[in-house]
Amino acid sequence: MTGITTITQKGQVTIPVAIRIALGMAPFDRVQVTMGDGVVEIGPVEDFLSMGGSIKPIKGKSVLKAREYMEKHYKRF
């Protein structure tokens, strides 16, 4: 399935409704954007923790402590 869309002045892109429905995407869902070989891919992300490994940790900060903090202070949807 393909669709054509336009990039706005702010760099925003609208995902065509047929594709959002097919992927089960809803307003305010998070997406992951990946670039490789001149192609940009946009796909759904189930939750923040599933993006593990895509974000580099700050040097000297414990990733495990950050995860523990998040699990204590933020509720999963």
Tens digits of per-residue pLDDT, 23-77? 989 998 888 899 989 999 998 887 666 666 766 767 777 888 888 888 889 887 7
Enter the tokens of residue 29: 């869902």
Domain chopping of the chain, boundaries: 17-73
**Arithmetic mean of pLDDT over the chain:** 85
The predicted model scores a pTM of: 0.54
